[in-house]
Amino acid sequence: MRIDAISIFPEFFSVLDLSLIGKARESGLIAFKAHNLRDWTNDVHKTVDDTPYGGGAGMVMMPEVWGKAIDSVAAGSKPVIIFTTPAGELFTQQIAQELSTKEHLVFACGRYEGIDQRVVEHFGKDFEVRELSIGDYVLNGGEVASVAMIEAIVRLLPGVVGNAESLEEESFSEGQLEYPSYTKPQSWRGLEVPETLLSGHHAEIAKWRNEQSRLRTQKNRPDLLK
Ligand code: JF8
Closest residue (by CA) to atom 13 of ligand 1? 141
| Separation between Cα atoms, residue 167 and residue 84, nearest integer Å | 26
Per-residue model confidence as pLDDT tens digits over 160-185: 867 777 787 787 778 999 999 999 99
User: Bigger pLDDT: 26 or 210?
Assistant: 210
pTM over 0.95: yes
Coil, strand or helix at 129: strand
> Residues 6 or more apart from 83 whose CB is under 8 A from it?
108, 110, 115, 119, 120, 129, 130, 131, 132, 142
Q: Kindly state if the Cβ of 139 falls inside 6 Å of ligand 1.
A: yes
Answer yes or no: is pLDDT of 20 > 90. Answer: no
Reported as a pLDDT band with limits 50, 70 and 90, residue 18 is confident
The helices-and-strands tally (H runs, E runs) of the chain is 7, 9
Q: DSSP secondary-structure letter at 131?
A: E
Centre of ligand 1 from the C-alpha of residue 85, in Å: 4
For a mutational test of ligand 1's pocket, the pick from 12, 139, 149, i.e. the residue with the most ligand atoms closer than 8 A to its C-beta, is 139
Kindly report the average pLDDT of the chain as a whole number.
95
Class of residue 30 by CB neighbours under 10 A (exposed 0-12, middle 13-18, buried 19+): buried
Centre of ligand 1 from the C-alpha of residue 162, in Å: 31
Q: Kindly state if the Cβ of 141 falls inside 6 Å of ligand 1.
A: yes
| Separation between Cα atoms, residue 226 and residue 218, nearest integer Å | 10
Q: Which is the closest atom of ligand 1 to the Cα of 135?
A: 4
What's the 3-state SS for 14-31?
HHHHCCHHHHHHHCCCCE
Count the Cβ atoms, other than its own, within 10 Å of residue 107. Answer: 27
| Separation between Cα atoms, residue 84 and residue 74, nearest integer Å | 17
Calculate mean pLDDT across residues 74-84. Answer: 98
Q: How far is CA 1 from CA 32, 39, 76, 148, in A?
A: 9, 24, 15, 17
Coil, strand or helix at 134: coil
> Residues 6 or more apart from 120 whose CB is under 8 A from it?
83, 129, 131
Centre of ligand 1 from the C-alpha of residue 196, in Å: 44
